[in-house]
Amino acid sequence: MRLRRHLRLIPGKSAMENFTTQRETENLSPILRVAFASNDRQQVNQHFGSAEGFVIYEISPQQANLVEVLEFESQVQDGQEDKLINKLQALTGCAIVYCQAVGASAIRQLATKGIQPIKVGPSQFISQLIKELQRELEKGEMKWGLKIPAKSVQDNETRFDKMETEGWNE
């Protein structure tokens, strides 16, 4: 699925300097890049594999800023894994992607990129999900981080190296 339109918001130099200085002097929490599968930029209303759009926010406990809007050509859910390549590349750097549904293959591919998919109910508002995530960040209770153990991703990536070192007995 090809990227049709990509809007990236770049703050002016003075805004970025103020933001960076504030974060350094106040020792603020790190920022997470979070994507939401949405075709209206208001609600999570798309399946990951056939999502026509994503909105990406940078979120900390103190603030949330819209940084990107991605629009893809529309496509049917057909099980073709190669259609995910452009979406996965576009979401590089995101820690989380919220969607209404996500297939097993997409979950594996997201995990290898370090992106945690989170399935939500129909038409959940992005603003509410951001507030919930900010509360989790504030309290240090990041439940979403427990869904894909890092060890299983690492094991999956190195399993062939381990097999090679074991050798073959025929």
In a domain, 34, yes or no: yes
pTM given for the model: 0.71
pLDDT, tens digit, for every residue of 84-102?
888 999 999 999 999 999 9
Residue 141: pLDDT band with limits 50, 70, 90: confident
On the question of pLDDT at 29 being above 80, the answer is no
Asked whether residue 161 is domain-assigned, the answer is no
SS3 for 72-125 is ECCCCCCCCHHHHHHHHHHCCCCCEEEECECCHHHHHHHHHCCCEEEECCCCEE
State the pLDDT at residue 140. 81
Angle between helices 150-166 and 104-112 (to 10 degrees): 80
What are phi and psi for residue 20, nearest 5 degrees? -65, -45
Quote the tokens at residue 168: 């073959």
Could you list the residue range(s) of the whole structural domain that residue 34 is in?
A: 3-145
Give the bridge partners for 72, in sequence order: 3
In a domain, 160, yes or no: no
Question: Does the residue 95 lie in any domain?
Answer: yes
Does 159 reside within a domain?
Answer: no
Q: What is the CATH number of the domain that holds 118?
A: 3.30.420.130
Span 44-80, pLDDT tens digits: 999 999 899 999 999 999 999 999 999 988 765 555 5
Number of domains in the chain: 1
Whether residue 157 has pLDDT greater than 60:
no
Residue 140 inside a domain? The answer is yes
